[in-house]
Amino acid sequence: MKLPANIFITFLVCAPSFIHMARVFVYGTLKKGQPNYNRMLDSANGKAEFLASARTTHKYPLVIAGNYNIPFLLNIPDQGHQVQGEIYKVDDQMLTFLDAFEGVPTMYQRTLVKLEVMEWAGQTEGEERLAAGSAIEAFVYSTMAYQPDWPSLPKYESYDAYGDHGLEYVTRERRE
């Protein structure tokens, strides 16, 4: 039996598309309990699943800088601290949202970073459960575009917008 050509075309159009997932390491305002965490939960931005708490295997300067007290991970390896944060598994839509939110490529650059798992919580399909101390790679938003004095600012191991550093983060909604 010969099927009409439009049957094949319909199958191609209706076939589910492959959704690519990537791992992203967040260390600042996108972490749980921080001012922009709601953006990770907003399904309009895409899908994000928490996998683990982790820290960078190399030291980096994590500073709070600029008029809005934004946390910046300066792409200067072997200075500062092993930075603590969270690993998320995100779909392409969320990755695109995060790139725009983080101002890629001008404000931040998305690069791969090696991480050490501190505590694995992920129960997602296709992700192996890793023990504490295991190595994993994820994308991180770091910057090479910073003011000359930023490397001399205080460096933090873990960012908390509400921390005792006294540098109140200014949300986008409150900026001029």
102 is catalytic: yes
Closest CA to 107 of 139, 70, 56: 70
Of the candidates 157, 81, 138, 111, the one whose C-alpha atom is nearest the C-alpha of residue 130 is 138
Q: Is 10 left (phi over 0), alpha (psi -120 to 50) or beta?
A: alpha
E-assigned strand segments in the chain: 21-26, 48-60, 62-65, 70-73, 81-91, 109-120, 135-142
Q: Of these residues, 102, 119, 173, 176, which one is catalytic?
A: 102
Spatial contact of 136 and 119, defined as CB atoms under 8 Å apart? no
The residues facing 22 across adjacent strands are 90
For CA atoms 147, 171, 48, 46, the dihedral sign is: negative
Measure the CA angle with vertex 77, ends 74 and 79; round to 5°.
Answer: 80
Catalytic residue list = 102
